[in-house]
Amino acid sequence: MKYTEEHEWLRLEGELVVVGITEHAAEQLGDVVFVELPEIETQVAKGDEVCVIESVKAASDILAPLDGEIVEVNEALVDNPGLVNDDPLGEAWFFKLKLDDPGVLDSFMTEDEYKDFLG
């Protein structure tokens, strides 16, 4: 997996990148009570607001980490937003993205680099 400075994780699955948030981000949010997912077939550019997460503490946006097309969303989060707290690195992925340029994944942090980033 790769990691962003915005506390998102990226996992390559064939030609797609699965996007979620890290355990650190889930802990900072507190109990998640609502998730708004993007529409399938939406074209996104790096930095676009893609998802909204609301917790008992605050509302946060998930930004597109890369340019591409949303090809799948995790509908389970709509019915059970608490998955974000229960399994942020597994079942609580947000969306799958078909990348315009898969080579850009190399520019993101490894797990060790992310841990160093957290300090």
Q: Where are the domains of the chain?
A: 2-101
- Distance separating the N- and C-terminal Cα atoms of the chain: 19
Which parts of the chain sit beneath pLDDT 70? none
d(CA 108, CA 92): 21
Residue 13 has a pLDDT of: 92
72: nearest Cα among 98, 111, 47, 110: 98
**What pLDDT was estimated at residue 15?**
87
Q: In the structure encoding, which two tokens stand for residue 79, read together?
A: 């019915």
Instruction: Tell me the pTM.
Output: 0.93
**Which listed CATH number (3.30.450.20, 1.10.10.10, 3.40.640.10, 2.40.50.100) goes with 2-101?**
2.40.50.100
* Contacts of 71 by beta carbon, 8 Å cutoff, 6+ apart: 16, 40, 41, 96, 97, 98
The DSSP 8-state label assigned to residue 105 in this structure reads: G
pLDDT of residue 105: 87
CB neighbours of residue 94 within 10 Å? 22
